[in-house]
Amino acid sequence: MLRTGNEHLQRLRDGRAVYIGSEGVGDVTTHPAFRDAARTVAAIYDMKADPANREIMSFTEDGEQYSMYYLQARTQDDLRRRMRAHSMIADMTYGLFGRSPDHVASFVTSMAMSPASLPPAPGLSPRTP
């Protein structure tokens, strides 16, 4: 299920401890240092959930709708689909929102496609399939 911008903002109001120096930030969605970034991310979620954008911003697998960030690209067409979604975010933010929600999700998805390429941490034995 695709999250909306409002759902994202509500999840940010979970009592997390955020500080700027020694100042505690009660609500990152309203604090001047964070509110605009929170609103930008919320707008990205709304763009993704908008039925007009769902074909570009999401995909269906086993009857469930997922963010395009999690599409495991196996073909050139899959890569093009992912690129279109990333481009929509870059266009919406004029390329100035460097770490949008797609950043880490896409990175983790690509690692999940080839876990054997990740070396084990020092001192840990490698996992066996």
Query: How far is the C-alpha of 93 from the C-alpha of 91, rounded, in Å?
Result: 5
The pTM for the full model equals: 0.77
The pLDDT, as a whole number, for residue 127 is 59
In this predicted structure, what is the pLDDT of residue 71?
92
- The mean of the pLDDT values for the chain is 88
Express each pLDDT in 107-127 by its tens digit: 788 778 887 777 777 776 665
The CA–CA distances, whole Å, from 62 to 7, 12, 26, 65, 88 equal 24, 29, 40, 9, 25
Mean pLDDT computed over 63-84: 92
Over residues 91-118, mean pLDDT: 79
Note the pLDDT of residue 126.
Answer: 61
CATH class of the domain defined by 5-113: mainly alpha
